[in-house]
Amino acid sequence: MLRIERPRAMHERRRNFTLQDPARTKSTAFTREERDELGLRGLLPHRVSTMESQVGRSLANMRRKAYDIERYIFLCGLQDRNERLFYRLVIDNIEETMPLIYTPTVGQACREYAQIFRRARGFYITPDDRGAIRGMLDNWNEDDVRVIVVTDGERILGLGDLGSNGMGIPIGKLALYSACGGIPPEQCLPVMLDVGTGNEELLNDPLYLGYPRPRLGGEEYLELMDEFVAAVQDRFPGALIQFEDFLTPNAYRLLDRYRDKVLCFNDDIQGTAAVALGGVLAATRVTGDDFRDMRIMFLGAGSAATGIGDLMVTALCAEGLDEREARERLWFVDKDGQVVKSRTDLMPHNVPYAHDEPQRSFVEAIDAHKPHVLIGATGAPGTFTEEALSKMATHHERPVVLALSNPTSRAECTAEEAYRWTGGQALFASGSPFAPVAHGGQMHRPGQGNNAYVFPGIGLAALASKADRLDDAAFLTAARALCETVTTEDLDEGALYPRLTKLRSISAAIAFEVATELRANGLAPESSESAEQLRARIEESMYEPRY
């Protein structure tokens, strides 16, 4: 038999992982020279693509999918294969892709996370990891982590306890940090504090990937979180920690526990507040009302609603009111009726907003207080009823209606309902997107009060200024900066927020204002850098996905 001796070099196969590395690959866009240099010759089709043609091909393939969840899976796969191409596609098509990689589609993705799992992404911590978290963080390949989003999965959007399936939220948030805030992907770390679940359906699901125990609580829970936060400070000093989708008691407990010790914030409490306040401030340019004279009612009294209320109080005090006067302009109603002093079931964060007046139902409270603004943060769909919204329209020519609950299926009302039930008078915004609505011969474009307008800019500001903490003034500054980006054209179309296509410039603007505020308040090191230099540095530092 003829034996062919192979050259020794053929036995020692050349191993080159550039083509498979999602952060480095260009796929078919590698040039002829790069293919020779990197040992890729023969491993790719002949044609050298451009990034633009790759985006076009990927968009066509995505749009071919029949359902949004399939488009979500496609985009996750693209992110796993070619990170720069994924972010280029997202940035250039943000209005189409943000509802897919985040709300509302991420809600379904979290519910089905175990079923659609393809590739591990992010960092998981369970109670079995006590005492080992610092060492585990060394397993993360990147050393320069700057932004961490952590959840325990107990209150995912308006969907409740999804356990470790909630990992879709940190992953989605950090994709927006990179796409909208320009934080390089390698500097982002999604974390699931998987302490079990109270969701029996998940515990009985053989496909569930999480810690299969009842949810940990009490001191053991806090000790595990303490260990995680301390480990982060040692492994990634100066990293920003964003708490996301924690149940209300833990959301406040953790924020109060760490806000004066480490660089952190809770997006559901503080980010939502800045976005909502920014929308209300923009509305005053249409209604002609002075913000300090507005009356504001909340349906829902959890962390999101009271977080908005707290920032509203800060803003009203900045307008010259004292705290008592500011709180007198805010009313809360939950499933048990108006928040009043005679109630014995209030949580600590509700007590400052309990008025000394009779208990009333939601509609009765609207009639009694005639609020200029109605804000929903309930997670309960259909709670802004026709009766409630029609009463808003009888009391004010242009009532402001913010139905902020996510995903879309949990919104307090639809955009079409808000316009129809107020005779087209409402200035409406929602947490998830709604299509434009024609009513009374006019086309209304509902604004989307999405936290993506604020949290990427806050994070960018913290990193640019090297802040060691964030205070309430940072979120008030962010709200005001967001309001300034709303144009007359936006308002003429009925939108209280800018178009999503402006998110990167909005993030840069918010980052500049907040970084300046942090320095002025002594929460970031002093610098001889001029305002122009700071603004330029922020813009130049933003991640731009190119080959």
In three-state form (DSSP H/G/I as H, E/B as E, the rest C), the secondary structure along 199-257 is: CHHHHCCCCCCCCCCCCCCHHHHHHHHHHHHHHHHHHCCCCEEEECCCCHHHHHHHHHH
DSSP class of residue 128 equals G
Catalytic residue flag (residue 173): yes
DSSP class of residue 380 equals -
Q: How far apart are CA 462 and CA 455, in angstroms?
A: 11
Assess contact for 178 and 188: CB atoms under 8 A.
yes
Assess contact for 334 and 361: CB atoms under 8 A.
no
Q: In terms of Cα–Cα distance, which of 409, 361, 357, 352 is closest to 387?
A: 361
Q: In terms of Cα–Cα distance, which of 11, 14, 10, 8 is closest to 37?
A: 14
Active site residue: 26, 72, 87, 102, which one? 102
Residues 6+ apart with CB under 8 A from 486: 278, 282, 285, 495, 496, 497, 498
Q: How far apart are CA 180 and CA 481, in angstroms?
A: 16
Per-residue exposure over 182-203, b if at least 16 CB sit within 10 Å of its own CB, e if not: bbbbbbbbbbbbbbbbebeebb
Active site residue: 26, 173, 391, 502, which one? 173
Q: In terms of Cα–Cα distance, which of 108, 407, 103, 424 is closest to 415?
A: 424
Residues 6+ apart with CB under 8 A from 108: 68, 69, 72, 407
Task: Label the pairing between strands 330-334 and 147-151.
Answer: unpaired
- State the catalytic residues: 102, 173
